[in-house]
Structure 1
Amino acid sequence: MRLRDINTIKSELQYLLDYKVPQVKFVDRTFNWNQEHAFSIWKYLLENDNGITNFHFEIAADLLTDKHMAILRCMRPGLIQLEIGVQSTNERTLKAINRHTNIETLRRNTAQIHSFQNIHQHLDLIAGLPYEDYDSFANSFNDVYKMAPDQLQLGFLKVLKGSPIEQLTEKYGIVHHAKPPYEVLYTKWLRYEDLLKLKGIEEMTELYYNSNQFSHMLLVLQQEFATPFHLFEALANYYQTNGYFVNIPSRNYRYQILLEFACSVASDKHDLFVELLIFDLYLRENLKTRPDFAPENKIPRQKLNQFYAQEAQYPNCLTNYHGYTSAQLLRMTHVECFQYAVWNNCAIDCTKKLQFPAYILFDYQKRSPLTHNATYFEISI
């Protein structure tokens, strides 16, 4: 492979940084194949960050070094995002497509990056590869899901003209569409019926996982299933049975559907599921109208007024709202009463009913640059 002159690259990057371009995507298929080259570019971006531009890189996570990790740890949240093409965790499959990925190293490195809480990670899987049947793909899905990517992309094999895989279609029994994008229909290992099931699971993963709108609900709900794959498989079956795939429901109605599905699995946890969904909803948006499944928010108006009057005069939680009146603070933020500690990231602890109600304040001016979720506080009222 050839490398462009590093000084030329830095000059071009500075031009984009000066104009505050929102996002720049590097087209390298494996950006960090040359470790020093990758480090030099990342170091330049760190030292010349304009606070706005995001840079997208497709990397091989198992090739990252301690030196890379040290600089990635220092990045501004949202400065870079990483796309990591896992494709499969089946070793025989990886060998057949000539990928030499060290899955254990990849797992360890993605976990370390996840711990930094400053870099969006997008991990890819491909269905229809050699030696990957339905159960093997489920294993790959579960392996990658446990890596906690910010996005888990399920793709389907494309047999492009002139590609190495095209020469092996007969050997592997790969049948694909005759027209672009030449997507796989079935293989020696994956039946057409199973591929259609994976299409449904892909849709559920996109709507409920990749949207990052149901994170706390999914954390608890997946405890009702043997594996994450079983959860999304069952959810896809629920959509299919109830005809929801015909017209994909609106964003708000998806919460109602997920509640119905969850209660069909564990009806005794209805109240917990409702609170989880309420929390996930208000984490994303300051709703003006409560969803139909949500009971009335039973916080006395007098207590709310007292809290916001105090914040307007002596800010404690809402320190970035200088100059706003208590009435404006009430409209711009939200306080919700909970009977369960649904904000707790431990799925087991949050299922226990609290001895006393808890009050959570959602601050929509302070959002995570990675998830766009509001900041929240537990407050006393």
Structure 2
Amino acid sequence: MKIILAAVNAKYIHSNLAVYSLRAFAKAYVSETKILEYTINQQMDEILMDLYREKPDLLCFSCYIWNLDYVEELAREIKKIFPETILWLGGPEVSYDAVDVLTRLRQVTGVMKGEGEETFLELLEYYHGRRETLEEIAGITFRTENGEIRENEWRDVMDLSRVPFVYEDLSLFEHKIIYYETSRGCPYRCSYCLSSVDKCLRFRDLNLVKKELQFFLDQKVPQVKFVDRTFNCHHTHAKEIWRYLLEHDNGVTNFHFEVSADLLDEEELELISRMRPGLIQLEIGVQSTNPDTIRKIRRTMNFKRLSEVTKQIKTMGNTHQHLDLIAGLPMEDYESFGKSFDDVYALGPDQLQLGFLKVLKGSYMQEHAREYGLIYKDRPPYEVLGTNWLSYGEIARLKQIEEMVEVYYNSGQFSHTLDWLVLEFDSPFSMYKALGSYYEENGLFKRNHTRIARYEILSAFIRKQVSGKEEFYRQLLVFDLYLRENVKNRPDFAGEPSADKAYLKAFYDREEKEPAYLKSYGQTESRKLRKMTHIEIFDYEVDRDMKPCRTVLLFDYQIRNPLNYEAHMMRIGEDGRDDR
């Protein structure tokens, strides 16, 4: 029997942990089972032709909010080509309305609900004649031979330590993000999240975890992304893993964790403080700072404690922090969301993700949609269009703000300019709102702008909004530009080069013969040194507090900050002395 487990990912760099786990668990049928991974950006004909070459007897798709429409269309077309192929679906996007899925997709035989490892194995046993009926398999909804849809009971959750490790052959995951789980379920009941449906929180055996982490470390995998919903909900478990990573750090691998920052205790913070810059990064879901909203969505969060912790981690200077907000939650109107935005912005996260509520099937939020006046899209990702507190027009304005935050804040390319520019406005939220309005007024949305063009646009926006400080902000933008970009064709907004040719020649000739700043280059000729570095002269202390003062900075692009990718920067004096 030829079995295909198919994943349609959102991006090429993503991998699908679920299909690999299913195949590994059904080890008696590994030789018959093949995994195929695609993306939603591929032409459907390309996938159909690929599947035609495979000619599977049993074809299973993993379904999520980002790929359900795509998978449904594939299912309809595939049965025209392979009428005899048996089609099954699984994943969170079909688990909670399996009867509706089978009603609208007559091409599909059944749906695997919830955890799929044991279910998939028993399905293969059935199709190999080792089980008599589908009725005896828990965790499925299926279509009988006479067309009747039958729904079996949900399967009990499994021991997570029984799930095989799927990464022995890393060649299968070349140029892909590695996803890894050490727990399933969540102790919290957030109304918008499906993890709260799985109330049985369980953990993978720590001895297994350490062995598997060591494999990633030995192989020097670039990044491992933990998919545990709240990694630090069990302190002993989290500390053991972080202590192991600290003691066995290979200097290369980065580990991503989703945590509740307000739960981090002093011992965990002390462990983080001793980690190599870039060893771990933290994703922290704030969602809202409105206490009424937090209560309404049944979330547990102490924002005061969260603020203290994230600020403390920021001072450590070694850990990337990604903070999330959700627009469209109950009790949160436009003004309230603006306050939540300002509260989180004040914490100075490395990234601020402004997302929009997804009303997921099977969630508490969906059950209370009428009560909250939730209007949302019928098709995935079921994104909110309006609530009792937020109109569609306001959501549209928040979409503009989201794009401005992504382009200007999350890119990290304008950090010093934004730190000063935000002081010219009533609040950070009002600044990004004004920037979004500027884009709309000038027809700048829905265009592909180069990175340099973004500097030019921001420069024009500043000239319109702030009078009398043109040179102040021009130099800040130039500083931000050269911190990130080794540009040799100077953009228009930057003006003429600030350092004259005679000064540059003298400096680099001296560095070639007796290096004082660029020692890591060894005996490198001055021409090559100039290509790999840049010198800029400012009229302000751009790297400090912007006081008027002639400042000469050397940017070395061979050395980068692992957290923000900024070039190594040194102050130099007029005669080449160290002026730091």
TM more than 0.5: yes
Aligned to 2:484: 284
- Residue 246 of structure 1 aligns to which amino acid in structure 2? K
Deviation at 1:250, TM superposition (A): 1.7
Q: Does 1:22 align with 2:222?
A: yes
Are residues 335 and 103 of structure 1, via their aligned partners in 2, closer, same or farther at CA, if it must alter by over 3 Å?
Answer: same
Deviation at 1:299, TM superposition (A): 2.1
User: Paired residue for 2:433, among 233, 251, 260?
Assistant: 233
For the pair 1:210 / 2:405, whether they are aligned, the reply is no
The within-5 A match list for 1:196-345 is 196-344=396-544
The ranges of structure 1 where at least 4 consecutive aligned residues each deviate by more than 6 angstroms after the TM superposition are: none
CA distance in 2, matches of 1:112, 1:296: 41
Instruction: Point out the more displaced range, 14-23 or 126-135.
Output: 14-23
Shift of 1:317: 1.4
Deviates more, 1:191-200 or 1:296-305: 296-305
Structure 2 counterpart of 1:169, from 357, 366, 369: 369
**1:329-356 superposed Cα distances (whole Å, 9 cap, x missing partner):** 1221100111122222x3xxx1x433xx
Q: Distance in 2 between matches of 1:131 and 1:379?
A: 54
2:548 paired residue number: 353
The one of the two structures with greater contact order (alpha-carbon pairs below 8 A, sep at least 6) is: 1
Q: Give the aligned residue type for 1:259.
A: S
Task: For residue 267 of structure 1, give the secondary structure of its aligned residue in structure 2.
Answer: coil
Structure-2 residue corresponding to 1:365:
558
Q: Quote how far apart the aligned CAs of 1:298 are.
A: 3.5
Structure 2 residue corresponding to 1:123, chosen from 323, 339, 344: 323
Q: CA deviation at 1:322?
A: 0.6
CA shift digits 1:49-77 (9 cap, x unpaired): 11111000000000000000110000100
Q: Report the counterpart of residue 157 of structure 1 in structure 2.
A: 357
2:27 equivalent in structure 1: none
Contact 2:262-2:309 at 8 Å conserved across structures: yes
**Is the 2:256–2:282 contact (alpha carbons within 8 Å) kept by the matching residues of 1?**
yes
Which segments of 5 or more consecutive residues in structure 1 lack a partner in the other structure?
A: none
Shift in Å, 1:300: 2.5
Q: Secondary structure at the match of 2:493?
A: coil
**Partner Cα distance (1:136, 1:306) in 2:** 57
Letter in 1 for 2:422: Q
Matched, 1:143 2:343: yes
Distance in 1 between the 2:347 and 2:451 partners?
26
Q: May I ask how many residue pairs the two structures share in their alignment?
A: 374
The question of whether the paired residues in 1 share the 8 Å contact of 2:498 and 2:538 is answered with no
Matched, 1:11 2:11: no
2:237 to 21, 29, 37: 37
> How far apart, in 1, do the equivalents of 2:404 and 2:390 lie?
20
How big is the shift at 1:211?
Answer: 0.2
Q: Give the Cα separation in 1 of the matches to 2:267 and 2:446.
A: 50
Aligned residue for 2:468, secondary structure, equals helix
The structure whose Rg is larger is 2
SS of the counterpart of 1:361?
A: strand
What is the 5 A alignment of 1:95-110?
95-110=295-310
Of the three residues 362, 372, 376, the one matched with 2:569 is 376
Native 8 Å contact 2:225 2:257 kept in 1:
yes
**Shift in Å, 1:116:** 0.5
Structure 2 counterpart of 1:112, from 305, 309, 312 = 312
- Aligned equivalents of 2:226, 2:348: Cα separation in 1: 24
Letter in 1 for 2:408: Y
Structure 2: stretches of 5+ with no match in the other structure: 1-200, 575-580
Distance in 2 (alpha carbons) for counterparts of 1:214 and 1:168 = 41
Does 2:276 match 1:76? yes
What whole-Å deviation, never above 9, does each CA across 1:348-376 have from its counterpart, x for those lacking one?
A: xx1x433xx32111011111000000011
* 2:192 paired residue number: none
Q: CA deviation at 1:380?
A: 1.3
Superposed CA RMSD in Å reads 1.0
Pairwise CA distance, 1:115? 0.5
Supply the distance in 2 between the matched residues of 1:17 and 1:300 (Cα, whole angstroms).
48
Q: Give distance in 1, aligned partners of 2:387 and 2:237.
A: 39
